[in-house]
Structure 1
Amino acid sequence: MEAVIDDHIDPEELQLHSRRYEEELSNGQVGYNTAFDYGWCLIRSRKQEDIMKGVELFKHLYKNGETKARRDCLFFTAVGYTKIREFELALECIDTLLRAEPQNTQAKDLKRVIEDRLKKSGLMGMGLIAFGGATVVAAIGLVALLTKKK
């Protein structure tokens, strides 16, 4: 599952799908498969704004697409949110999917990865806060030491 989240698209492939999507859009009707493929390409981009565009496209497809495709839209929306470190939103999507399909192993695997990344980001955040606090204490100590010597 890590590979799905860490996968990146070749910019030329993204451009190809973008042109296909824009062409259909200019003709007044974007096919579901074209929109889905473009969304998947956007989610695999290295650029956060592309990933967010993909998330929005999947949310649109979820609301307006075929009922049977909602599962995939939720899954890939969760992947997109995970890639941009919006873990709570990713968990909301995956939990919605698991309520509908409690035995979905892909969704369970993705949920584990999201939770692991959420924990790691929380630990990193706590480490940065601790480091920042130690730096402030050291600076205060240094100032006190320097003023004491005068």
Structure 2
Amino acid sequence: MEAKIGQFIDSIGNFFKGADQFPWCDRDVILDCERDVAEASNGDSDENKSESIMRLSWALVHSKKEDDVRRGIAMLEASLTNSNTTLQKREKIYLLAVGYYRSDEYSKSWQLVQQCLEIAPDWRQALTLKKAVEDRITKDGVIGMGITATAIGLVIGGVAAALARRN
């Protein structure tokens, strides 16, 4: 019985924490990627430059720092028009969707993940992200309704108390 209560409490905690199953990237990895981009800019082929920028973009949108995520989004948006293949375009759109998800811009993330699924309908990563986005949208709606119900309850309680004092 105690185990079931513990699982229930953990599930409620996870619901409100909003933990996701996508990888996080630490500052050291980002710094290594930035170094790779700088080295690639000094005479490497365009393909190596593009790959190092893609790795840096991946690291940035998977960062725990909001500024890094924003920077990754900007890099991906700027490079999206330079996508030579459908695979590159799909990867960039997916990473943009992850960035917007991490920035709590769920509707934008959902739109982008839909674009990914138009390119590759069975892509597991995109399907997982789509479910996570939809879960967050649902959860935010439930929390919003709870806040609204609480506010309405407080107003009704205040009105009832005011009327009780008059009588």
Residue type at the aligned position of 1:56: A
What is residue 137 of structure 1 aligned with on the other side? Answer: 156
Write the deviation string for residues 57-88 of structure 1: whole angstroms up to 9, x where unpaired.
12222211322311111111111111122111
What is residue 55 of structure 2 aligned with on the other side? Answer: 37
The alpha carbon displacement at 1:25 in A equals 8.7
The alpha carbon displacement at 1:26 in A equals 7.3
Residue type at the aligned position of 1:18: E
Matches within 5 A, 1:1-150: 2-4=20-22, 7-21=23-37, 23=38, 31-67=49-85, 68-146=87-165, 148=166
**Which 5+ residue runs of structure 1 have no aligned equivalent?**
none
Asked if structure 2 preserves the Cα contact closer than 8 Å seen for 1:43 and 1:50, the reply is yes
Select the structure with the greater relative contact order (CA < 8 A; seq sep ≥ 6).
1
Asked if structure 1 preserves the Cα contact closer than 8 Å seen for 2:41 and 2:49, the reply is no
With the length of structure 1 as denominator, give the TM-score of the two structures.
0.79
The count of residues paired between Structure 1 and Structure 2 equals: 144
Residues of 2 paired with 1:93 and 1:75: CA distance? 7
Asked if structure 1 preserves the Cα contact closer than 8 Å seen for 2:63 and 2:69, the reply is yes
The alignment's C-alpha RMSD in Å is 2.6
Residue type at the aligned position of 2:79: L
Asked if structure 2 preserves the Cα contact closer than 8 Å seen for 1:32 and 1:65, the reply is no
With the length of structure 2 as denominator, give the TM-score of the two structures.
0.72
Identical aligned residues as a percent: 25
Residues of 1 paired with 2:127 and 2:80: CA distance? 20
